[in-house]
Amino acid sequence: GGRTDGAQLRMARRGGDADADAWGDARVGPYAVGETIGTGSVGKVKLAQHVISKELAAVKYIRKDTLEADLSLKRKIFREIAIMKLLDHPNVLQLYDVFENQTHLMLVLEYAERGELFDYVAENGYLEEAHAVRFFQQIMDSVGYCQRRLISHRDLKPENILLDKDFNVKLADFGMGVLNFPGVALKSPCGSPHYAAPEIVAGRGYNGLLADIWSCGVILYVLVSGGLPFDDDNIQVLFQKVSECDFEIPEELSHSVKDLIRRMMVVNVDERLSISRIMDHDWMRQRPYEIVADDFGQRHFPPVTQPIESLVDHLVDLGWGDVDRVHVLLASEKEDLIRHSYEQLVRHNVFKRAKRSGLTGELLRNAVNQVDLSDHALPQSKLGDYTALARRSDVCRDEAHVLTSGASRGSDDSRQYHRDQHRKSVKHGEADNAARATNHQRGEYTSDIAQLSHQTEAIGL
């Protein structure tokens, strides 16, 4: 503990390497861990550097005893892990890896050295519109990417938007995120009061994707005005203002940005602008912007008849249903979304292994792009020898550690029972019966933490 001389932070800002002494001996997998760069409610965030590639990362330490004492926090953390594995967009913060030891869970994340967009706006007071539009284009592109995959963030605010060294947006903190299936109304109130949509503060069922549009409208207001559209020391008065959409826009702002804000922050959810219409708005088109290529919705993913069981578990945890139903959906010709999610989980596994070995840039991208649903194993020769790194690591586990007590094992046993039953039904030509298996509620995330323990992967997996 205590203060440091800032050697790592100065090195990080330069984009170069630091003296070996600046890092010390602490290791998380192939990452050398250095000084603390942040402290949150569940633990510290430390700067780290890959010992081979020299790429910087941020390691988020989460105390296991804190998780044990708070089931809702456990769900929040593991939900964030599950959703981040599905996302691969230049304006979404990447999850590189997950490790654990006896006392901590450690998330290795992309390093966004410029910090929160909130702090950037606070330091500048407000942003000129020509400056703000660049940030907002990237924000809406990343939110649109999530929404095409039915992912609602549910806590969009400048504090959860980070900036990299080139001041590019990195959407972060998916702890409130959820898959919002069509026709399913979410019920859990989520988000921060100043950014939450009227339907959320009113306690009604809501569409998370449309609620995110409202929050983005509030973010745009903050960027160009330097203030909040709704504010009051009394939370009930604040909620009343939000419910009535009672706010004023500074007169000095352009007519175009006022129009965009007003059309995003509409109480009637059916009247809020869609992502595509936001991107096509006159204010957004004042600066050239090329939307990140995304062929989702245009590709047909082939049926998967022999999926990797650990990835099936991820899909169960994300709300697709029980093991039987996930098998049926993966083998179906109709459900492209779940197979896209499955393929992305496969890609993330390969990405993780390649990242551990030190691959970066184009080599890393090529390794991941070679993967498809039928070929999920990257040849070891392309990955290098990362097992030697594991021997030096403080975190070297051959199997995932179950975070819960034995009393919580029932859900895992139930899952294995259903998996065994599924195999029997296939063997006897009765696979159609799986379609009638009990379906978990699709929408709100309610999995027990024991069902999520497989996500705490270790270097040996």
In order of their start, the domains of the chain are 7-110 (3.30.200.20), 115-286 (1.10.510.10), 309-455 (no CATH)
* C-alpha distance from residue 382 to each of 122, 353, 364, 377, 379 (Å): 45, 10, 10, 11, 6
Quick one: average pLDDT of 112-132?
96
Q: Is 115 left (phi over 0), alpha (psi -120 to 50) or beta?
A: left
Specify the range with the lowest mean pLDDT, choosing from 231-235, 238-242, 256-260, 364-368.
364-368
Q: What is the average pLDDT score of the chain?
A: 80
For residue 417, pLDDT over 80 is answered with no
Higher-pLDDT residue of 55, 299: 55
Give me the percent of the chain exceeding a pLDDT of 70: 75
Rounding to the nearest 10 degrees, give the CA dihedral for residues 435, 436, 441, 443: 20
How many angstroms separate the CA atoms of 34 and 21, rounded? 10
Specify the range with the lowest mean pLDDT, choosing from 19-23, 52-56, 411-415.
411-415
Q: What is the per-residue pLDDT for 458?
A: 36
Higher-pLDDT residue of 379, 312: 312
Structure tokens at 63: 């105390």
User: Tens digits of per-residue pLDDT, 131-152?
Assistant: 999 999 999 999 999 999 999 9
Buried b (16+ CB within 10 A) or exposed e, 189-207: ebbeebbbbbbbbeeeebb
User: Tens digits of per-residue pLDDT, 261-313?
Assistant: 999 999 999 999 999 999 999 999 999 998 888 877 777 778 999 999 988 88
User: Tens digits of per-residue pLDDT, 57-108?
Assistant: 999 999 999 999 998 888 788 888 989 999 999 999 999 999 999 999 999 9
Q: Are strands 44-50 and 56-63 parallel, antiparallel or unpaired?
A: antiparallel
For 117, phi and psi rounded to 5 degrees? -60, -35
Give the Cβ contact number of residue 282 at 10 Å: 12
Largest CA distance in the chain: 72
Among the listed residues 97, 141, 155, 324, the single catalytic one is: 155
Q: What is the CA radius of gyration of the chain?
A: 23
Structure tokens at 22: 């600046």
Query: Of how many residues is the chain composed?
Result: 461
Q: What is the per-residue pLDDT for 400?
A: 34
Specify the range with the lowest mean pLDDT, choosing from 2-11, 86-95, 316-325.
2-11
Cβ(208)–Cβ(227) under 8 Å? no
**Known catalytic residue at 246:** no
Quick one: average pLDDT of 361-384?
64
* C-alpha distance from residue 289 to each of 134, 140, 280, 436 (Å): 8, 12, 11, 47
Cβ(331)–Cβ(303) under 8 Å? yes
3-state secondary structure of 384: coil
3-state secondary structure of 107: strand
Q: For residue 381, how far is the Cα from the chain centroid?
A: 30
Q: What is the per-residue pLDDT for 216?
A: 99
- Looking at residue 358, the DSSP 8-state letter turns out to be T
For 75, phi and psi rounded to 5 degrees? -60, -40
Name the residue type at position 342. Answer: Y
Cβ(154)–Cβ(302) under 8 Å? no
> Which residue in the block uniquely carries the two structure tokens 């006392």?
103
Q: How many CA atoms lie within 13 A of 11 on its CB side?
A: 21
Higher-pLDDT residue of 414, 453: 414
For residue 7, pLDDT over 50 is answered with no
Structure tokens at 340: 């896209």
For residue 40, pLDDT over 80 is answered with no
Higher-pLDDT residue of 441, 359: 359
Q: ∠ CA(447), CA(189), CA(250), 5° rounding?
A: 140
For residue 383, pLDDT over 60 is answered with no
Confidence at 381, pLDDT banded by 50, 70, 90: very low
